[in-house]
Amino acid sequence: MDITREQIDDLNAIVKVAITKDDYSDKVAKILNDYRRTANIPGFRKGHVPMGLVKKQYGKAVLVDEVNKLLQESLNKYLTEEKLDVLGNPLPKAQDDLDWDNEDFSFEFELGLAPEFDVELKTKKPITHYKLIADDKMIDEQIDSIAKQYGKLISQEEVSEDSEVTGTFINEEEGIENKATLTLDKLKGKRNLNKFVGAKVGDTLELKTKSLFEDDHDLMNFLKVDHDKAHDLEINVNFTIDEANKREAAELNQELFDKLFGEGVVTSVEELRAKIKEDAEKQFVQQADQKLLNDITEQLIEDTKFDLPAEFLKKWIQATGENELSVEEASEEYEKSEKGLRYQLIEGKIIKDNEVQITYEELKDYAKKYVAMQMAQFGQTNPEESVLEDIASRVLSNQDEAKRLSEQLMSEKLINVYKEKANLKVKEMSFENFVKEVYS
């Protein structure tokens, strides 16, 4: 067997694989001998079928199969030994004149090669790294929400602005009949608010769904209609008031602190505020880091210039797609995926240059933290190490879950590299202002 490479340019090459009879004849002969021993052909005893008949019936198929296996194995070995960084997979060149009755064969493959480039993490333009803080307003709102959540309901005969109202929405024509509880701050406009305030338990209010709530999505929950219908819903509904309650805030005392955080963890309102601030800002770090990762990704793609073997990749997309694609369709798919491919190459270069690695032990520890967070959501705040170990092992036995967690851990490691080496400017602000600046 002989393998040679013709370099077309820095990004494209042709690999030629020449296979002779000596490369495959022994394997083909062995397989045909095995067929002869086991073949059941009418008119012949098992194991006594003439080899000529076996070759006639199976020889061509065995030859093709073995040559293709040998071709794939040798090509993969060659790419590994030559340390060729290929994009996609080698594409076989069409051979209309291939004659399987010959003894020697020659095949050609097109290769698309990854470009060589450098990545400069110290971008010319500094990238904003947000440091999000829980300000007094947020902490006050959180304490108020906790006090109401753990407070008690006081029954009312008449609805007031701070009431929680329970009742049934009805529209017979639309098949709507749903019991719901709402607070009046959900309502849009004074006209709707005035219909509720002063109404008594047992009263039926006539309401219009258009502009009834500040958020049209509330119609989905309170009327139980689907998403598409909620946005264009313009009907009349009746709402019969079953209950009106005022929620009396819970007292901020040790009993409440222990219920929230465990016995003795928080012992004063000042410590409660500090705890809320600490917990909130821990959650903010993840959102700020995700924003940083997105911004650095965009900047690196813009700053890191290199060519790709575009024509090869378009042909590869056309050849390997699930559905048959035209040249134009393959070109469109390439345009859609080019940006993602560029970042994959950039990310791979950063990982290699900075020797970022994930060991199995690191991944298992990460999986255990993930499991612990999931369990905490269901009130299991202090699981035994053996339980975490067992569940994490089961999670990692699922290839999809293991891949997902590995990608998350790699993102965290890359963010740490960026924080250390990228050109960042820290910007401190409240979470509320962050949302306005970034997402509005």
Q: What is the pLDDT along the chain (440 residues), one digit of tens a residue?
A: 899 999 999 999 999 999 999 998 999 999 988 888 887 777 777 777 888 888 888 889 999 999 999 999 999 999 999 999 999 999 999 887 788 888 899 999 999 999 999 999 998 889 999 999 999 999 999 999 999 889 998 999 999 999 999 999 999 999 999 999 999 999 999 999 999 999 999 999 999 999 999 988 899 999 998 888 888 889 999 999 999 999 899 999 999 999 888 889 999 999 999 999 999 999 899 999 999 999 999 999 999 999 999 999 999 999 887 788 899 999 999 999 999 999 999 999 999 999 999 999 999 999 999 998 888 777 777 788 899 999 999 999 999 999 999 999 999 999 999 999 999 999 999 999 999 998 87
pTM here is 0.73
Q: Are strands 163-171 and 152-156 parallel, antiparallel or unpaired?
A: unpaired
Q: Are strands 105-113 and 127-133 parallel, antiparallel or unpaired?
A: unpaired
CA 215 to each of CA 196, 219, 308: distance values in angstroms, whole numbers, following the listed order = 18, 8, 47
**pLDDT value of residue 383:** 84
Residue with tokens 């990545």: 119
Tell me the C-alpha distance between 27 and 35, whole Å.
Answer: 12
**pLDDT value of residue 306:** 96
> Which CATH fold would you assign to the domain 152-248?
Chitinase A; domain 3 (3.10.50)
User: What's the N-to-C CA distance of the chain in angstroms?
Assistant: 63
Q: Classify burial at 102, counting beta carbons within 10 Å of its beta carbon; exposed 0-12, middle 13-18, buried 19 or more.
A: exposed
User: 8 by DSSP, 3-state: which?
Assistant: strand
Which string of DSSP letters, residue by residue, matches 368-431?
HHHHHHHHHTTT--S--HHHHHHHHHHHHTSHHHHHHHHHHHHHHHHHHHHHHHS-EEEEEEEH
Which amino acid type is present at position 6? E
Which string of DSSP letters, residue by residue, matches 155-185?
EESB--TTEEEEEEEEETTTTEEEEEEEEGG
Per domain, the residue ranges of the chain are 2-113, 152-248, 269-439
Counting DSSP H helices and E strands in the chain, the numbers are 15, 11
**pLDDT value of residue 192:** 94
User: 287 by DSSP, 3-state: which?
Assistant: helix
Tell me the C-alpha distance between 77 and 71, whole Å.
Answer: 10
Q: Which CATH class is domain 2-113?
A: alpha beta
Tell me the C-alpha distance between 233 and 240, whole Å.
Answer: 20
Q: Token pair of 296, please?
A: 């650095």
Tell me the C-alpha distance between 89 and 281, whole Å.
Answer: 46
User: 436 by DSSP, 3-state: which?
Assistant: helix
Q: Which CATH class is domain 269-439?
A: mainly alpha
Tell me the C-alpha distance between 182 and 208, whole Å.
Answer: 16
**pLDDT value of residue 320:** 86
Its sign, for the CA torsion 13, 99, 54, 18, is negative
- The candidate with the shortest Cα–Cα distance to 47, out of 55, 32, 35, is 35
Q: Token pair of 20, please?
A: 């002779």
Question: 109 with 92: CB under 8 angstroms?
Answer: yes
